Amino acid sequence: MSIQKPKTIFEKIWDNHVVKKAEGYPDALFIDRHFIHEVTSPQAFDGLRKRGIQVFSTSRTSATADHNVPTKDQHLPIKEAMSRHQVETLRKNCAEFGVELYDLGHPYQGIVHIIGPELGLTLPGMTIVCGDSHTSTHGAFGNIAFGIGTSEVEQVLATQCILQYKPKTMKIEINGTLSKGVVSKDIILYVISKISASGATGYFVEYAGDTIRNLSMEARMTICNMSIEMGARGGLIAPDEITFNYIKGRKFAPQGELFDKKVAEWKKLATDEGAVYDQVLTINAEDIGPMITYGTNPGMGMRVSDRIPTIEELKEISERTSFKKSLDYMGLEPGSQLLGKAVDYVFIGSCTNARIEDLRLVAGIVKGKKKAAGVEVWVVPGSKQVEVQAKAEGLDKIFEAAGFELRSPGCSACLGMNEDKVPVGKYCISTSNRNFEGRQGPKSRTFLASPLSAAAAAITGRVTDVRELV
Amino acid sequence: MLIACQKTINEQLITKQEMKDKFITLKSTAVPLSVENIDTDQIIPARFLKATTREGFGDNLFRDWRYDSSNNPIKEFVLNQSKYSGKILVGGKNFGCGSSREHAAWAIYDYGFRVVISSFFADIFKNNALNNGLLPLVVSDKFLKGLFETIVVNPQTEVIVDLENQKVSADGITEGFEINKYKKTCMINGYDDIDYLLSLNSEIRAFDLVHS
Ligand code: SF4
């Protein structure tokens, strides 16, 4: 009997899904779950119509409207004509092809990467794709989840498969205890600041170590969510009891005996002893502080107590021009500190940090306090279910008393596509995932940070070390 | 074997409705955009993603770098400098990072580019480009630097991209480039992944039945 070569969790799931391996071709990979939204699907449905074919498996496909939706007065028709048209097109396509849609007003509507896990549609061991780069979020459950383009959305709708080359594997191991005021968003911002916005390109990341093991599912999702911001194809975490407890009883999750049977299978997914990764990175949790970005890509981050590097401190001379351009855009000086910098907007939301635990973290800090004068604060729940839960727990009252505006679910100010935009030149501290030029609106300036740090800034009106408040 | 499988693709091609341009060699002047980490939000900002067709995105390519807030062209930006033109865009390292929006590839193609040269591409962008007949061509840092300098000195420099022989040259500098064999075949013949996947339909159905 031959001894099986030890495999990583990634390799096990990948190998389980290869429909066809032909020499000279990428693997044809079967996709268990396909999420779609209004922005990246219309051209794909058109492709199906032109070819005269149906959706391969409607039961494996779920849709929602999130990017274009207003976060106020969601019961009214969408004001902006093109946004409205795109959402209506999704409606029409889902009806025509028989795809389940969680439309505006539906109790399950929300940001696509928030509702999948919430509804038990996202499970360990699966392959999951969506025409959206933050599909990596779902990897927190121990599956292969990655973002795809619209041509690939069409391929998956048509064939339930995608052609892919197997990426390399990277293990990022984080051990130790997090300090006060440091949460999972800080972990991932720290990792990206260390390996840069392109440092994991070509890799699929597995996060491991006791710091990760001790995180809740929601905190794990925040980490996997931002895997793409270092260029990784995706990021995953092996499932454990915390995962199984989260899934148990969710709407579309396996129930009863089937659930127990599945758990037994999921337990076998973890990486085998002795399996080899193409790269390993080890991080000490004690080194991580509350983080903030100062530039225009998520790799340009630092501990909030640090100062921005000077031009001379950059390792690569070739980076200097882009670095300078970035700081000019942000209106910041190389070598300066961000602590104390005034902010105009605070955005608490997005698929990175708009789950109930994030809202609880924020409420915990602001309870009994008021926002600083002149600061606009938006709290945008990631889904209808999060909104309902927040209200049931009375968080809405805390936000209201603090002068925060609790809105309805959607991508909101994470991307300047819907009505929620940060105005020209204004500074926004944001719990989202991208600080690209104009991401939150033309000429807007973004500081990425954790929900705790964003809440602290809302109260002081400035970039603040949250450790002063907790 | 590639050759044997190619036959399946060719048979599928008959049913293919829309053919992409075939790509073998290209000789053209190039536009130098020497910025690193150009993300897809810059290539096409989110507010222009509302169309439900693939056409017309070229007008808003690099919108916020190309026009100021009153919609006047920003003179310094390369696309607004008449001395630069051509079907080749040369970009800095980590081109196309960020959002998976295929609209970025559509916008570049729609504007008239057929090749993007850089020393490093983000994964999803690379796939999206290849799926749309836009060649993401990876060169060494050194070649890229040389290319930028050459084009700036002489904007009339012709860059020759020879996909068949996997070579790129400009003004006496030449470099070989890597491209996956399968993707090369697709580019040269103007077909994409879906043709191949559709040919696997019965195997996929069979897999779906036993896969839980
Ligand atoms: S919240 Fe932001 S990052 Fe997440 S899916 Fe929406 S637009 Fe994309």
The DSSP element (H or E) to which A279 belongs, if any, is strand A279-284
**Span B16-55, pLDDT tens digits:** 334 456 788 999 999 999 999 999 999 999 999 999 999 9
Residue of A69, A134, A185, A229 to test ligand 1 pocket, by largest number of atoms within 8 Å of CB: A134
Lowest mean pLDDT among A186-195, A390-399, B19-28, B183-192: B19-28
In this prediction, residue B111 has a pLDDT band, given cuts at 50, 70 and 90, of very high
Q: How confident is the model at residue B103, as a pLDDT?
A: 97
By CB neighbour count within 10 A (0-12 exposed, 13-18 middle, 19+ buried), where does B190 fall?
middle
Choose among A30, A133, A155: nearest Cβ to B211: A30
Q: How confident is the model at residue B91, as a pLDDT?
A: 97
- Residue ranges around ligand 1 (CB below 6 Å): A 66-67, 111, 113, 132, 134, 350-351, 411, 414-415, 432-433
Q: How confident is the model at residue A332, as a pLDDT?
A: 98
Sequential DSSP letters for B115-164: EEEES-B-HHHHHHHHTTT-EEEE--HHHHHHHHHHHHH-TTPPEEEETT
Phi, psi (degrees; rounded to nearest 5) at A354: -135, 30
Output the pTM of the full model.
Answer: 0.94
In this prediction, residue B191 has a pLDDT band, given cuts at 50, 70 and 90, of confident
Lowest mean pLDDT among A161-165, A295-299, B192-196: B192-196
In the stretch 2-21 of chain B, residues with CB closer than 8 A to chain A read: 2, 5, 15, 17-18
Q: How confident is the model at residue A318, as a pLDDT?
A: 77
Percent of chain A at pLDDT exceeding 90 = 96
In this structure, the strands spanning A100-102 and A291-293 are unpaired
Choose among A43, A131, A149: nearest Cβ to B127: A149
Q: How confident is the model at residue A102, as a pLDDT?
A: 98
- In degrees, rounded to 5, the angle at the alpha carbon of residue A278 between the alpha carbons of residues A273 and A282 is 75
Q: How confident is the model at residue B195, as a pLDDT?
A: 85
Ligand 1 centroid–CA A358 distance in Å is 16
Q: How confident is the model at residue B19, as a pLDDT?
A: 44
Atom of ligand 1 nearest to the CA of A354: 1
Average pLDDT of chain A is 97
CB contact under 8 A, A442 and B45: yes
- Note whether B68 contacts A: Cβ–Cβ < 8 A: no
CB contact under 8 A, A149 and B100: yes
B126 to chain A: closest CA residue: A149
CA–CA dist B52, A86 (Å, integer): 7
Q: How confident is the model at residue B8, as a pLDDT?
A: 40
CA–CA dist A157, A36 (Å, integer): 10
Bin A252: left if φ > 0, else alpha if -120 < ψ < 50, else beta.
alpha
Q: How confident is the model at residue A45, as a pLDDT?
A: 98
Q: How confident is the model at residue B14, as a pLDDT?
A: 30
- In degrees, rounded to 5, the angle at the alpha carbon of residue A176 between the alpha carbons of residues A174 and A182 is 85
Residue of A422, A433, A446 to test ligand 1 pocket, by largest number of atoms within 8 Å of CB: A433
Residues on chain B touching A17 (C-beta within 8 angstroms): 211
**Span B142-153, pLDDT tens digits:** 999 999 999 999
Longest CA pairwise span in chain A (Å):
73
Q: How confident is the model at residue B16, as a pLDDT?
A: 35
3 state DSSP class of B104:
helix
What domains, with CATH codes, occur in chain A?
9-164 (3.30.499.10), 168-232+266-287 (3.40.1060.10), 291-468 (3.30.499.10)
Q: How confident is the model at residue B21, as a pLDDT?
A: 65
